[in-house]
Amino acid sequence: MTDVPPVEAPQTGSVRARSVVLVNTGYGKGKSTAAFGLVMRAAARGWNIAVVQFLKSGKWHVGEEDTGRRLGVDWWTIGEGFTWDSKDLSEDEAVAQQAWAHARAVIAAGDHRLVVLDEITYPMNWGWIDPTEVVDAISSRPEHVNVVATGRDAPAVLVGVADTVTEMVKVKHVFDTGVKALRGIDY
């Protein structure tokens, strides 16, 4: 394969987008990590940034959350302020829907130029969040709001509304050899 320079932006682009929708999917490492890298980049530009986590991550992402808060990111951990009074939904579903209600409001408000929907594909695929609602919220967002969504098995409708979709493919992974997760690297 020919080596080519890594400049991933064309010098020839002629259309100026006001914002983009990125999806990081696939079974490899780096989906959320790349989203947090974008947070670093956007923070350098002084943007208002919101992160909404759609899964309880336990110790996972605690590091990003700490650093994100240091950078002024509005970080919304799933289950935050959660009160569960429904008998019609499982607690997991209710929590996911609450996270989505929060995310939808954040996107629509337009106070943040970058909104990260971390691991949103899982509740979408599990039927806890209506994919059509997600796509509608993204499509009708204020034009300066960039959205990044992460998670395995991105639903086709999400891929459809995205400008850029990257699949992270595992070539090899240290965990497969029985090595434990490493603090500072994996969480």
Residue 156 interacting with a copy of itself (CB under 8 A):
no
Which one among 52, 55, 95, 138 touches a copy of itself, defined by CB under 8 A? 55
Q: What angle do CA 20, 141, 106 make, to 5 degrees?
A: 105
Q: Does 178 bind a copy of itself (CB under 8 A)?
A: yes
Q: For the chain, what is the largest distance between any 2 Cα atoms, rounded to a whole number of angstroms?
A: 59
52 is an interface residue for a copy of itself by CB under 8 A: no
How far is Cα 77 from Cα 79, in angstroms, rounded to an integer?
6
Q: Give the integer Cα–Cα distance in Å for 24 and 41.
A: 16
Instruction: Give the interface segment with a copy of itself, choosing from 11-19, 81-89, 96-104, 134-142 (CB under 8 A).
Output: 11-19
Cβ 145 vs Cβ 110: under 8 Å? yes
Part in contact with a copy of itself (CB under 8 A); list of ranges 88-96, 101-109, 128-136, 147-155: 147-155
User: Which residues are CB-contacts of 74 (< 8 A; sequence separation ≥ 6)?
Assistant: 48, 49, 50, 51, 106, 112
Q: Of 57, 24, 21, 48, which is closest to residue 136 (Cα–Cα)?
A: 21
Nearer to a copy of itself, 75 or 76 (CB): 75
Select the span of 10-18, 90-98, 104-112, 134-142 touching a copy of itself (CB under 8 A).
10-18
Question: Counting contacts by CB under 8 A, is residue 157 touching a copy of itself?
Answer: no
Asked whether position 48 contacts a copy of itself by CB under 8 A, the answer is: no
Q: How far is the CB of 50 from a copy of itself (least distance, A)?
A: 14
Say if residues 51 and 39 touch (Cβ distance below 8 Å): yes
- Element at 174 (helix H, strand E): none
The answer to whether 127 touches 96, Cβ cutoff 8 Å, is: no
Restricted to residues 71-130, the positions that interact with a copy of itself (CB under 8 A) are 71, 113-114, 119, 122, 125-126
Q: Which is nearer to a copy of itself, 86 or 169 (CB)?
A: 169
Q: Is 131 in the site for a copy of itself (CB under 8 A)?
A: no
Residue 179 makes contact with a copy of itself by CB under 8 A: yes
Q: How far is the CB of 120 from a copy of itself (least distance, A)?
A: 11
